[in-house]
Structure 1
Amino acid sequence: MESQQSSPSLASYHQESRRPLASLAFVIPILLIYEVGGLMLGPQAMRNAADGWLRELLRFLGLGQYFLLPLLTCAILLGWHHLSGQVWRVASGVVSAMWVESAALAAILVIGARGLPGLLFAAQSEPDLTGTWLDQCISFMGAGIYEELLFRLMLLPAAVGFFRFTGVPLSTAVILAVVSTSLLFSAAHYDWFLTAGEPFEVSSFIFRTLAGGFFSGLFLWRGFGIAVGTHALYDIFVTAL
C-alpha cells in the first residue's frame, strides 16, 4: 500500500505515520500472521481476552464468520481515514520506519520495566503460555491488534466522550479516559474474565495499568499503528529475554 514517492523527512514521517491509512498498511501483515497462524494452530491457538470478547459480540449479533473481525478492523481504519479527509496514499518508507520506531519504543518499555522493582518486572510477562516460541509470537500479534483495537481505538474515545458528556474539560476527560481504560486493560488479563487468565496479583496489576497508560499515550500521540506494533514487539521481546 506504500506509494513510490520519496521517503519522508522526520517531521513529515511523524505526521504521516499517525494517519489511519498508514496504520492500516502497517497492521495488515500483523493481522494476516495472527489470523492465518490461528487457523493453522487450530484449537490450541492462544487467544487473548479482547479477541474472544469481540468475536463473542459479533456472534451475539449473528456475525460469527471467522474473518469478519479482521475485516471490521480494516473497515474501521478505512472509515476513520475517510472521515479525516486526508489523501489516499502512504509515502514510501513510512511503514518500514514504523517498524523501526515500534521496536525502539518496545525496547524502551522493556528497559523501563527493568528499572521497576523486581517483582513488577517478573510479573509483566504473559501468564504461563505454552507452545513454541513461534506459537507465542503469533499470540502476541493478536494481543497487539485486538487489545489495542478494543481498549484504545474503541473504548478510549468512547470514554473521552462519556466524561465530556458529564461536563468535565477535555484535558480532564482524556486523563480520566486513559486511567479507566488502562485499569480495564489490566483487569482483562486475570481469571476474573478469562479462564486461561492468571490469578490476581497487585504487582502485575499495577504494571499492566502503567503499560496501558503507556500504550494509550502512544495511541493519542503516535496513532493506532505504532501502539499496535509497540505492544506486539514488547511482548515478543520480553518472551525472548
Structure 2
Amino acid sequence: MPATEVELEQLPMNYWQATSRPLTSLIFVLPMLAIYETGILLLGPEAIRNGVDVWLRQFLGLMGLGQYFLLPVLTIAILLAWHHLKEYPWQFKPTNLPLMAAESMVLGLFLLCLAHFQASVMKMEVVAAATSGQVDMTTKHVVAYFGAGIYEELLFRLMLIPVLILFIQGFAFPKVVATFAAMMISSLIFAAAHYNFFVSGGDSIDAYSFLFRLSAGLIFASIFALRGFGIAAGSHAMYDVLVAFS
C-alpha cells in the first residue's frame, strides 16, 4: 500500500531529495525573483528586462492579463501547484539554502570552465548564456542575470520540457527517449532564442556561440532533471554573474 501523507512527512529527507523539490526551489529563488522585479521597477528606463520575461508578459497581455505582478505570482503558483500535485511533504529545512547557493556557484563555475575550454579551442570570446553583447558588472546587469536565471529556466525547462515529453510520448516513444528528445529540443530552442533570426534585437548567429548556448541548454536541462528548478535557476544566474567577473 502507498504511504500516507502523514507517513511521508515522518520520513527524513536528505539534502538531495529536499532541494530538488518545488517548495525548497521556490524558497531558494524567491530572493532572486524579488531582486529582479524590484530592480526593474527602481531602475525604470535604465533597466535591462529579460527577453523571456517580455515574451511571457506579452503573451499574458494578449489574454487580457497585463497586471505587472501577475507573472511572478504565476511563477510562485506553478511551483506550489507542482509540489502539491506530486504530493510531496510540506517540509523545508532553512540550512539547505546556503548549501544550494554553494552548489549553484560550483555548477556556474563548471559552466564557465566549459565556456573557456570551448573558447580556447575555437579561438573565441566567452559569451553569456543569457545576455548579448559585452557584459559589464553594473547593477542593471546583475538584476538582468537574476531574471534570466528564473524566467529562462521557467520557460525552457519547467514549462517546455514536460510539455515536450508528453507530446513525444503521444507517439508511443518510451519516457526515457521522450525525456532525452525533449531536453535536446528545448536546448535548441533556448540557443536559437538569442539570435536575430529568431527574435528582433538578438545576436548575429555564429557557430561558437550557438554551440556553447546549446551545450549550456543541455547542462541546464540536465541540472533541472536531476536537481530541480531551484538549482537550475541558481546555477544559470551564477554563471552569468561569473562571466562578468572573468
TM-score, normalised to structure 1, is 0.91
Gaps of 5+ in 1: 1-8
| Superposed counterparts of 1:134-153, under 5 Å | 134-153=139-158
Tell me which of 162, 166, 176 is aligned to 2:167. Answer: 162
Please report how far the alpha carbon of residue 43 of structure 1 lies from its aligned counterpart in structure 2 after TM superposition: 2.4
**Which one-letter code corresponds to 2:194 in the other structure?**
H
Local SS of the residue matching 1:197: coil
Give the corresponding residue for 1:124. 127
| Aligned residues of 1:140 and 1:232 also touching (Cα < 8 A) | yes
User: How many residues end up aligned between the 2 structures?
Assistant: 232
| AA partner of residue 211 (structure 2) | I
Task: Choose from 40, 61, 68 the match for 1:66.
Answer: 68
Question: C-alpha offsets along residues 105-156 of structure 1, whole Å, 9 cap, x if unaligned?
Answer: 1111111222224347615223125776221111000000000000000001
C-alpha RMSD over aligned residues: 1.7
The AA in structure 1 aligned to 2:127 is Q
Further displaced range: 47-56 or 190-199: 190-199
Contact 1:18 1:225 in 2 (8 A): yes
| CA 113–89 in structure 1, closer or farther in 2 if over 3 Å, else same | same
In the alignment, the residues of structure 1 paired with residue 144 and residue 77 of structure 2 have an alpha-carbon distance, to the nearest angstrom, of 22
Among 226, 229, 236, which residue is 1:231 paired with?
236
Specify whether residues 69 and 160 from structure 1 end up closer, same or farther in structure 2 by C-alpha distance, changes over 3 A only.
same
Contact 1:34 1:139 (8 Å CA) reproduced? yes
Distance 2:123 2:182 in 1: 24
Pairing of 1:1-241 with structure 2 (within 5 A): 12-118=14-120, 119=122, 122-125=125-128, 126-128=131-133, 133-241=138-246
Q: Alpha-carbon deviations, 1:145-172, whole Å to 9, x = none?
A: 0000000000011011111001111111
Partner of 2:3: none
Q: Is the 8 A contact 1:181 1:212 kept in 2?
A: yes
Q: Unaligned stretches of 5+ in structure 2?
A: 1-11
| Runs of 4+ residues deviating >4 angstroms | 129-132
Distance change >3 Å, CA 130–CA 15, structure 1 → 2? closer
Verify the 8 A CA contact 1:123 1:203 in the aligned structure 2.
no
SS of corresponding position for 1:115: helix
Report how far residue 67 of structure 1 moved.
0.8
Give CA deviations for 1:57-114 in whole Å, capped at 9, x if unaligned: 1001111011110000000001011112122221131112111110111111111222
Moved more, 129-138 or 171-180: 129-138
CA distance in 2, matches of 1:235, 1:120: 20
Residues in 2 aligned to 1:190 and 1:19: alpha-carbon distance in whole angstroms: 33
How high is the TM-score relative to the length of structure 2?
A: 0.89
**Percent identical across equivalent pairs?**
44
Shift of residue 183, structure 1, vs aligned partner? 0.4
Could you tell me whether the CA contact under 8 Å between 2:46 and 2:140 is conserved in 1? no
Does the aligned pair in 1 maintain the 2:137–2:245 contact within 8 Å?
no
Pair 1:190–1:23, CA change in 2 (3 A): same
Paired letter, 2:205: F
Aligned counterparts of 2:172 and 2:48: Cα–Cα separation in 1: 42
Query: CA offsets per residue over residues 186-233 of structure 1, 9 Å max, x none?
Result: 011112233331111121111100100000000000000000000000
